[in-house]
Structure 1
Amino acid sequence: TLPVLAEPRAAQDLGDWLRELQAFNLSAREHAHTPLSDIQRWGGQAGQRLFDSILVFENFPLEDALASAGRSGLRFETQGSTGLTEYEMDVEVSLRQTLRLSFTYMRRAFDAEQVAAICAQMMALLGAMGTSPAQTVGSLSLLGPDEQAALLALGQG
């Protein structure tokens, strides 16, 4: 787990920024073994958390692998869990036939309504990104069309 600070430029082409982010991610893997405590110390943040949320991208669906192994006579069971990590929010992204987002959060930090709003914003953003990769980063919105219209109506009222 490595902290990533992404600073997209509003005028930057979305496709270019995503390619840069992917290239950075690939180069950062060379340092994936580095303990977070070392990164905190190097960044002058010793003893302080670098982030409070985590995005986990599952590029090899474990459930599919376990199901496949089960056909060979091996048996696997999953145990219940309260979350992926100790962070306030975990967003797990997995790709099978479709893209799946799962949100796990601590109730002391978020309520269900807040998480539903964050999920809706992520879905709107991903939907907008998928419609036209030639658009600029600054043209993207966290709000869907309905939320944008409601916000504009509030401003005019």
Structure 2
Amino acid sequence: MSTSYSLTHVNANGEANMVDVSDKAVTHRVAIASGQVLMQPSTLKMIKDNSHKKGDVLAIARIAGIQAAKKCGDLIPLCHPLMLTKVQIDFEFASDSSGLIIHGLCKLDGKTGVEMEALTAVSVACLTIFDMCKAVDPGMIISNIHVREKQGGKTGHWQRETNDRQG
């Protein structure tokens, strides 16, 4: 998979540059990202049973992920602030009880993609799970955060192949 791209966030002088999207067409854009938090089976059971003394881990992580997507333009220096029309965070319990898989979906009608918002949502949801559970399982591992799919814009529909970099 060898595709050549030029860096758009650097101007001709090599300086950081926010991309000018004023001439781009407004299209419906969607991005889906995923990540995982690996943990002890007992920690996963505590989350699943909603028996954590700090409260509902998944509800808090969901809210954190949604808030993070909305703040992406404030966190990533050259990201455009976007008017998101949908942010959704879903959780999947790993079948082998090794942890949680987090999925984030972001949508909008706009001139630039929402991949960074989806990645930020998933990242912060993972961090929130870690924060809430670190006292009972400090060895948790956050991993495999990646874009699974994107739609819209000039590149159209893109979907990660299942064997593409272990995604």
Say yes or no: TM over 0.5. Answer: no
The structure with higher relative contact order (CA 8 Å, sep 6+) is 2
**Structure 1 or 2: more helix by fraction:** 1
Larger-gyration structure (1/2): 1
